[in-house]
C-alpha cells in the first residue's frame, strides 16, 4: 500500500466541524496553526492581501491546505469592514503581526470584541506582546537562541546545530497557539466570553524544555552541549554511519533494550559496563566500527521488529515509502502533492480529508455569502 490520494473521511468531518476561523495571512507559525485547525475540520478562511498572485506557489503552500481564501485590503475601509464582518461571525481569529499592527489597521482585539464578545483572538509572535524585544524583528533561530534551546542542540565541542524551524516556529509557536486557541474556545463555549491568546515562540520553546530544567535541578543534566543522555552525550543514544554512507539512529536507553541492541549489533561479548562515562569513548568507537560493516538496508533488516530501539535515518522521500508509515497512512497525496496526513487521530470524529491550498481570493464571494457578510472581496 502506498500513501493514498484521499483519507478515510469526507471534507467537513473532524472534531472541529462547525468551528469558524478567520486567519489574517502571514508566514510560518500562524498559518501552521490554521492548518492544524483546518485538518481537524474547522472552516478556516484566510484573508489574503491584494496584489499579483503566483498561482503555482499558492497551490504548493501546504500550510494553507484545507482553507478557503478571500482577499481584503486592511488599509482600505472596505477591506477592514470585511474582516470585522467575518470576525463578527467567527469563533476564532488568528493573526501573526507585530504587536500593535492589528490595532493600527482597525482589526485588533477591541475592535473585534466590540462586534463579537465570544471571539477567541489568537496572536502569534516571536517575542510576545510585551517585553523589551516585543517590537523587534526576529526569526526562529533567534527565538530559540534566547531560550537556551539552541544552546542544548549539537555535539560536544562543536557549535549548536540548527534544528530547522521545527523547535521554534512550529513546535514552540504554531502548536502552542493552537492549544491556546482550543483552550480559550472551550471556555468561550461555557460562558460566552472570548479572550486574547498571546502565543510567543520564546514562551513555547522554553516550555518545551521543561523536563530538562527538572533534570538540571536534580543534577542529572549538565548545562553543556553533547554531554548528556539525550543530546548524543552517551554512545547508545546517537547516530552512526553505515557502510554505504547511510545512518542508523540508536536510542537503546533502558537496560533490556541496550542488551538487545549490543546482541544484534554483534558486540555483546566486547562491551564493558555501559553506564560508566569513562568507557563511553571506547563504546562509541566499537559501535561506529560495527555499523560500518554493513549497509543501512542490511542493518534495517537486522533490527526490524526488535526491541533494540534502532531505526534507519530516512529522507523525506524515503519516509513516504516506509512500510510502517504506509500501513498507518501517515502520508497522503492531495492534488498530486505527497504530504503528511492530519494528526492526531480520533475514533469518533476522524479528521477531514485535506483540501488543496487555495489561490488567494478564490472563495471570496462564496465565503461572504455563506457567512452573511456584507461587502465585496476580490
CA angle 367, 371, 377 (to 5 degrees): 40
Cβ pair 70, 44 in contact under 8 A: no
Q: Which of 133, 171, 163 is nearest to 29 (CA)?
A: 171
CB-CB contact of 374 with 32 (8 Å): no
What is d(CA 167, CA 177) in angstroms, rounded to the nearest whole number?
14
Tell how strand 92-95 and strand 68-71 pair up. unpaired
Beta strands in 147-294 (DSSP E): 195-200, 237-241, 247-251
- Please identify which of the residues 39, 48, 140, 169 carries the catalytic annotation: 169
Beta carbons of 21 and 89 less than 8 angstroms apart? no
What cell numbers appear for 249 in the block? 539512529
* Cis peptide leading into residue 344 (ω within 30°): yes
Q: Which residues pair with 312 in a beta bridge?
A: 248
What is the spatial distance between Cα 17 and Cα 330, in angstroms, rounded to a whole number?
22
- Grid coordinates representing 225 are 552541549
DSSP 25: -
Nearest Cα residue to 308 out of 372, 255, 378, 351: 255
- DSSP-based helix, strand, coil % in the chain, nearest 5: 40, 15, 45
169 counts as catalytic? yes
Catalytic residue among 139, 151, 198, 247: 139
Judge whether 60 counts as a catalytic residue: no
- Residues forming the active site: 139, 169
Amino acid at each position: 500500500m502506498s500513501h493514498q490520494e484521499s483519507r478515510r473521511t469526507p471534507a467537513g468531518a473532524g472534531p472541529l466541524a462547525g468551528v469558524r476561523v478567520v486567519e489574517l495571512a502571514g508566514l510560518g507559525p500562524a498559518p501552521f496553526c490554521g492548518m492544524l485547525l483546518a485538518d481537524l475540520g474547522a472552516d478556516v478562511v484566510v484573508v489574503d492581501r491584494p496584489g499579483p498572485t503566483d498561482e503555482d506557489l499558492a497551490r504548493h503552500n501546504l500550510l494553507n491546505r484545507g482553507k478557503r481564501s478571500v482577499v481584503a485590503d486592511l488599509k482600505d475601509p472596505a477591506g477592514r469592514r470585511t474582516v470585522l464582518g467575518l470576525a463578527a461571525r467567527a469563533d476564532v481569529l488568528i493573526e501573526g503581526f507585530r504587536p500593535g499592527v492589528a490595532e493600527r489597521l482597525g482589526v485588533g482585539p477591541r475592535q473585534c470584541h466590540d462586534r463579537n464578545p465570544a471571539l477567541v483572538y489568537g496572536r502569534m509572535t516571536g517575542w510576545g506582546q510585551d517585553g523589551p524585544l516585543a517590537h523587534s524583528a526576529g526569526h526562529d533561530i533567534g527565538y530559540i537562541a534566547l531560550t537556551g534551546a539552541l544552546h542544548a542542540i549539537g555535539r560536544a565541542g562543536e557549535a549548536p546545530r540548527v534544528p530547522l524551524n521545527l523547535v521554534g516556529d512550529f513546535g514552540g509557536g504554531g502548536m502552542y497557539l493552537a492549544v491556546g486557541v482550543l483552550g480559550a474556545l472551550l471556555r468561550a463555549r461555557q460562558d460566552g466570553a472570548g479572550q486574547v491568546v498571546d502565543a510567543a515562540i520564546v514562551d513555547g520553546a522554553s516550555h518545551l524544555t521543561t523536563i530538562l530544567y527538572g533534570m538540571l535541578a536534580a543534577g542529572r543534566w549538565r548545562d553543556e552541549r553533547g554531554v548528556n543522555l539525550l543530546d548524543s552525550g552517551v554512545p547508545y543514544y546517537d547516530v552512526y554511519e553505515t557502510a554505504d554512507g547511510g545512518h542508523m539512529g540508536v536510542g537503546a536507553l533502558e537496560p533490556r533494550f541496550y542488551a538487545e541492541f549490543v546482541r544484534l549489533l554483534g558486540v555483546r561479548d566486547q562491551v564493558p559496563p555501559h553506564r560508566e562515562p569513562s568507557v563511553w569513548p571506547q563504546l562509541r568507537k566499537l559501535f561506529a566500527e560495527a555499523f560500518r560493516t554493513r549497509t543501512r538496508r542490511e542493518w534495517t533488516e537486522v533490527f526490524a521488529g526488535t526491541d533494540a530501539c534502532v531505526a534507519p535515518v530516512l529522507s523525506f522521500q524515503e519516509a513516504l515509502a516506509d512500510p510502517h508509515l504506509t500501513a498507518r497512512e501517515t502520508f497522503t497525496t492531495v492534488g498530486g502533492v505527497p504530504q503528511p496526513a492530519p494528526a492526531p487521530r480520533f475514533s469518533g470524529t476522524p479528521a477531514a480529508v485535506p483540501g488543496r491550498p487555495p489561490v488567494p481570493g478564490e472563495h471570496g464571494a462564496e465565503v461572504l455569502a455563506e457567512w452573511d457578510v456584507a461587502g465585496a472581496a476580490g
